[in-house]
Amino acid sequence: MPKTCLVTGGAGFIGCAISPLLAKHFDRIVAVDNMHPQIHATFERPAALHEKVELIVGDVSQHETWETLLPNMKPDVVIHLAAETGTGQSLTEGSRHANVNVVGTTQMLDAFVRHNAIPKRVVLTSSRAVYGEGAWQDAKGQISYPGQRSRAQLEAKQWDFPGLTCLPFEATRTEPRPTSIYGSTKYAQEMILKAWALSFDVEIGLLRLQNVYGPGQSLSNPYTGIVSLFAQLAKAGKVIPLYEDGEIIRDFVFIEDVANAIFRITTGTIPSSEAYDIGCGSGTTIRQLAEIIASIYEAPMPIVNGAYRNGDVRAAAADISRTHTDLGWMPEWDVRRGVMTLCNWIDRQL
C-alpha cells in the first residue's frame, strides 16, 4: 500500500537533511514550509531538498494552509519540524514563537480531525530547551533544580551555582523546567501532541535535540547557532568573542546524526512515548569549540568578553544511553570532525 509522509517545516535545515532518507522509504513526501526569509535568503526551492519531495508554501499556523493541503493528501506519518527557534529572540518575539509553535501545532491537529486524515504516527523534533538549567548535584549527591539565572546574578558575573555540578539531561530523569519562551513553547508542543495522540490512538515519537549544526544550515540567520557564527568570524580573521567566562557547556550534534535519528523513529518501532535525547553525548565548552575553529582558520585566539544573554542556560548536554538502547541510534560524528566538515562547506559558500 502506498505510504505518504508529511513534513512540516520540510524545506529547512533538518527537513532538507532527512529528505534523501525519506525518499527511499515513502512513496509520496509532501513538505509544507512558509519559506521565512530569516531562514531562506531567497524564495527559491532549496537545492538540498530531494527532488521527490513536493514542496507546498504555507504557514502551519494558518487555517487556510490545512484547508488547501489535506483534501489532496492523507498522511500516514507526520514529521513536525515547523517551529520558530531562538532562545534570545523569543524573549522579544514571544507571540510569534507561540503562534507558530503552539497554535501551528493545534491548527494541524484540528485539521487532521476535520478532514478525517489522522495519521498513524507523528514525530516531533523538540528541544533541549525544555529542560532549562536542568538538574544539578552537590558534593553529597543531593539533586536540585536551581532554575533560571536572574539578571542580577548575570550582571554580577555569577555564572555558576556555587557548590553544584550540572548533570546531563535525560528525559526520564530530568524534569522539564524551561527558562525561555522558546523552551516553553516546545514543551507545550510535546504535551499537546501526547494528549492528542493518546486520544486518537496515534503513535507519538518525541526527540529532544541538542545543538544541531552542519552543512546546509542558514549562514544569514543570526539565530542559527554559534558553530557557524564562530566559523564565519574566524574565516574573516576576526577574534571570536566568548560570552560569560567561556565555560558555557553545549552538546553539539552533527546534522547527519540528527537526520539518522529522525529517520529511525519515523520508520522503526517506538518503544516509549517518552522523549528521547539526541546529542553527541558529551559536553563541549564554547571556549573549546572556538579554539578548534580558530585553529582551522589560523585566526586569533578567542577572547572572553563577559557578555551574556538572558534566558541562556549555563550547561546543556545529553545522556543518550536510553536512546541508544531503545532506538539503536548512536552519533557517528565527533565535534572536531563535524566542525571541520562544516568549515569546508562554508568555504565553498562564501
Please state, as a whole number, how many other Cβ atoms lie within 10 Å of the Cβ of residue 67: 12
Residue with cell string 486520544: 199
The verdict on whether 131 is a catalytic residue reads no
Single-letter amino acid, residue 260: N
**Of residues 276, 223, 227, 226, the one with CA closest to residue 97:** 223
Q: Which of 182, 213, 276, 308 is catalytic?
A: 182
Q: Among candidates 120, 77, 124, 132, which has minimal Cα distance to 105?
A: 124
**Could you give the CA distance from residue 17 to residue 165 in angstroms, rounded to a whole number?**
35
Nearest 5°: the CA angle 234, 214, 37 is 90
Q: Which three cell numbers stand for residue 42?
A: 531567497
Secondary structure of the chain in the HEC alphabet? CCCEEEEECCCCHHHHHHHHHHHCCCCEEEEEECCCCCCCCCCCCCCCCCCCEEEEECCCCCHHHHHHHHHHCCCCEEEECCCCCCHHHHHHCHHHHHHHHHHHHHHHHHHHHHCCCCCCEEEEEEEHHHHCCCCEECCCCCEECCCCCCHHHHHCCCCCCCCCEECCECCCCCCCCCCCHHHHHHHHHHHHHHHHHHHCCCEEEEEEECEEECCCCCCCCCCCCHHHHHHHHHHCCCCCEECCCCCCEECEEEHHHHHHHHHHHHHCCCCCCCCEEECCCCCEEHHHHHHHHHHHHCCCCCEECCCCCCCCCCECCECCHHHHHHHCCCCCCCHHHHHHHHHHHHHHHC
Catalytic residues: 182
